[in-house]
Amino acid sequence: MEQGTRRARRGRGGRSRAGLAVAAAALGVAVLGVAGCDAVGGDASAPSAGPAKKAAPSPSPTPVWDTSPTSVVAVGDSITRGFDACAVLADCPEVSWATGSSEQVDSLAVRLLGPAGAAERSWNYAVTGARMADLPGQMDRAVRRDPQLVAVMAGANDACRATTSAMTPVADFRADFEDAMHTLRKALPKAQVYVASVPDLKRLWSQGRTNELGKQVWKLGICPSMLADPDVLDAAATERRETVRSRVEEYNKVLEEVCAEDLRCRFDGGAVYAYEFGTAQLSRWDWFHPSVDGQARLAEIAYRTVTAKQP
């Protein structure tokens, strides 16, 4: 009897404890439910346990260099004016490597914009005889057109002086080019610049000296520092020509270095300097300036540089 009573009490105690446990669990669920609503915020419903959504991809950054600019301005010297390409001692801008309309050349502007676009949105402010000191003034005119691309080819006339001592000092050449770039950047911080290297003037001499007519035209004053006495091969003449060539290489180093400081400037990597102009690429009047075919080769180099995915 006594044992039965104790069993009955244990049974009632066990059920009582089980009931408390169930109640506590229910209270815990209720508390968690309230906490869950507060975590979402106010009366907002808790998020469903559906599949996780993928985050939207970040937009791609705008590239620094646009390989398809929509307007072009050219600055520089006689090469960009097509000098002696169509007639003796005359400009012929229609065959300019940069902005010309000639189908034989297929200029940089035509390749980028098409014939109609080039006619409407390309301009040539190069001047025959110009030196680097003239480039800031040309650039000042160029920026008024608000171009997306400025094509630069200058420096040959800085080496083509009456004597080697009259060549533009390298420090002055650098200062003038930096001034031109500053003029551009002050007005158009996002405009792109293509910079062509100065041609190898000694190679042009070595090719052109095979033509008697060309050598007669040289006597009129074309690049005397390199072309004077074209058939003289003594030590003094050889040293003079090497001095000019070395100065051109120094100019090209300046062009490369100054351009490298600007994110939106591309130098041709010395491609124009390295190009092996033959007689077919030289003017049939002076055998020194580019012919129509030579202008086409310059256009190819420029287009390849401008449209490359990487500089």
Domain chopping of the chain, boundaries: 72-307
- Candidates 79, 28, 88; CA nearest to 216 is 88
**What's the CA gap between 78 and 297, in Å, rounded?**
16
- Candidates 270, 297, 268, 304; CA nearest to 281 is 297
Does 168 score more than 50 pLDDT? yes
**Which DSSP string do the residues of 87-123 spell out, in sequence order?**
STT---GGG-TTT---TTT--HHHHHHHHHHHHHHEE
Percent of the chain with pLDDT over 90: 78
The angle that helices 235-260 and 201-208 make with each other, rounded to 10 degrees, is 140
Does 38 score more than 80 pLDDT? no
CA atoms within 13 A on the CB side of 242: 7
**Mean per-residue pLDDT for 206-221?**
92
**What's the CA gap between 85 and 292, in Å, rounded?**
6
52 or 282, greater pLDDT: 282
Does 51 score more than 80 pLDDT? no
Say which CATH superfamily domain 72-307 falls into: SGNH hydrolase (3.40.50.1110)
- Which residues fall within 8 angstroms of residue 296, CB to CB, at 6 or more apart? 97, 104, 105, 106
Q: Does residue 244 contact residue 198 with C-beta atoms inside 8 Å?
A: no
Which residue do the tokens 């003034």 mark?
A: 137
Q: Is the dihedral of CA 150, 127, 241, 289 positive or negative?
A: positive
Residue 79 burial (CB < 10 Å; 0-12/13-18/19+)? buried
Does 102 score more than 80 pLDDT? yes
Which residue do the tokens 């287009």 mark?
A: 303
Phi, psi at residue 226, to the nearest 5°? -105, -40
Does 50 score more than 80 pLDDT? no
Q: What tokens appear for 32 in the block?
A: 């968690």
**What's the CA gap between 286 and 294, in Å, rounded?**
13
Question: Is the model's pTM score more than 0.85?
Answer: no
In DSSP terms, 75 is beta-bridged to 152
Residue 149 three-state SS: strand
pLDDT, tens digit (0-9, with 9 covering 90-100), for 170-204:
999 999 999 999 999 999 999 999 999 999 999 99
Does 3 score more than 60 pLDDT? no
Residue 295 Cα distances to 7, 120, 201, angstroms:
114, 21, 16
Q: What tokens appear for 103 in the block?
A: 């189908």
Which pLDDT band, with edges at 50, 70 and 90, does 310 fall under?
confident
Which pLDDT band, with edges at 50, 70 and 90, does 311 fall under?
confident
Does 125 score more than 50 pLDDT? yes
Q: What tokens appear for 271 in the block?
A: 């491609």
